[in-house]
Amino acid sequence: MIDPPSIVYMGTPDFAVPTIEALHNSPFDLTWVITQPDRPQGRGRRPAPPPVKAAALEMGYDVAQPENVRDENFMHNLKERNPDFLVVVAFGQILPVAVLSIPRRGAVNVHASLLPKYRGPAPIQWAIMRGEEITGVTTMLMDHGVDTGDMLLNLETPIGISDTAADLHDKLARMGADLLIQTINGLWKGTIFPRAQKHANASYAPMLKKENGRIPWHRSAREIDALIRAMTPWPGAYCLLGDKRIKIHKAMHIENAKASAPPGTVVPGFPDELRIATDEGILSILELQGASGKRLSIKQFLHGHPIAPGEVFS
């Protein structure tokens, strides 16, 4: 009988929690969990543990939180563990070759795209924003580059017409956890072999900034709908009506609708409906948030804040 592989796990946010749960329920020997330090959160700015730390402690694992993975003490302790595999899911620090070379059988990463497309920190959002119909998860052996290592397994899933980044995040996190278990099994048994990425086909998904959520009314209604879904829940899609900031939570592009007004202009619609002209087509706003800070249906919002045709969003 083959002994189970020993694993050190590195992960931090909610996306990485299903994988540690899958490892915990697997026959593998999970020996150590590495995550980011506690960070201030909320209005009180009190330090809070990352989701992976909370999950790991509840399961009874030793947890380390190095400020820098290049720290000599951390490196020494990792070498002492002598793991077969390092499993990395959204850890949050770039790992140097000195760390990647420690596990005997390699460092395996779970990435939320079909590599080599959408390398980088925000693959879920950019896939939605760019109108992709299919995405997925990929496991790979890590190297010195950003998501450039040899691929191991991948799994596809469609992007639904109403999927937000939050929806896809949860789905891909579960898929990635299952795929990771298959990957470690295959590597340990010698049934999976790495294959190089086609680097010429690579694309990059850079870190999102708040300004990425600004709605470009000069784009098509379909593209704006995709942007709104991609920016949900963070950083959120927004625009201005006069000097008031409006956050758009949900919208729908109206097929085959044509607007004669300039992009951003409110056009006539049914009662309790807000239609806005775009460069191509009309966008119907379904849920939004104004100065009150409450997320409201368009019917609720318009009862307290009527918006007339001809007004312009920017």
DSSP string, 49-63: --HHHHHHHHHT--E
pLDDT, residue 89, reads 98
Tell me which CATH code domain 213-304 carries. 3.10.25.10
Q: Which pair of tokens denotes residue 78?
A: 């990792």
Cβ neighbours for 283, distance < 8 A, ≥ 6 positions apart: 221, 224, 225, 251, 252, 253, 254, 275, 276
When pLDDT is cut at 50, 70 and 90, the band that residue 36 belongs to is very high
CA-angle at 24, arms to 18 and 27, nearest 5°: 125
Residue ranges of the domains in the chain? 6-201, 213-304
CA-angle at 289, arms to 285 and 292, nearest 5°: 145
- Using DSSP's 3-state secondary structure scheme, residue 3 falls into coil
Give the separation between CA 55 and CA 14, rounded to whole angstroms: 10
215-219 contacts at long range (C-beta below 8 A, 24 or more positions apart): 215/239, 215/248, 215/313, 217/263, 217/264, 217/276, 217/277, 217/278, 217/279, 217/313, 217/314, 218/263, 218/278, 218/279, 219/278, 219/279, 219/280
Strand duo 6-11 + 85-89: pairing: parallel
Helices 165-189, 17-24: crossing angle, 10 deg rounding: 40
* Cis-peptide, bond into residue 235, ω within 30° of zero: yes
Which amino acid type is present at position 269?
A: G
When pLDDT is cut at 50, 70 and 90, the band that residue 205 belongs to is very high
Q: Which of 5, 196, 4 is nearest to 104 (CA)?
A: 5
Strand duo 274-277 + 282-289: pairing: antiparallel
Strand duo 295-297 + 6-11: pairing: unpaired
pLDDT at 1 over 80: no
Upper half-sphere CA count for residue 287 (Cβ side, 13 Å):
10
CB 126 within 8 A of CB 212: no
B/e letters for 120-145, b = 16+ CB within 10 Å, e = fewer, are: bbbbbbbbbbeebeebbbbbbbbbee
pLDDT, residue 50, reads 97
pLDDT, residue 222, reads 96
Q: 6-201 belongs to which CATH class?
A: alpha beta
| Tens digit of each residue's pLDDT (9 = 90 or more) over 68-96 | 999 999 999 999 999 999 999 999 999 99
| Tens digit of each residue's pLDDT (9 = 90 or more) over 146-165 | 999 999 999 999 999 999 99
Q: Which pair of tokens denotes residue 17?
A: 């929690």
Q: Please compute the mean of the pLDDT values over residues 269-292 and round it to a whole number.
A: 93
Q: Which of 253, 254, 273, 275 is nearest to 264 (CA)?
A: 275
Q: Which of 87, 65, 88, 89 is nearest to 77 (CA)?
A: 65
| pTM of the shown model | 0.95
When pLDDT is cut at 50, 70 and 90, the band that residue 259 belongs to is confident
Strand duo 29-34 + 107-111: pairing: unpaired
Q: Which pair of tokens denotes residue 245?
A: 């900031």
CB 85 within 8 A of CB 5: yes
User: Whole-number mean pLDDT of the chain?
Assistant: 96
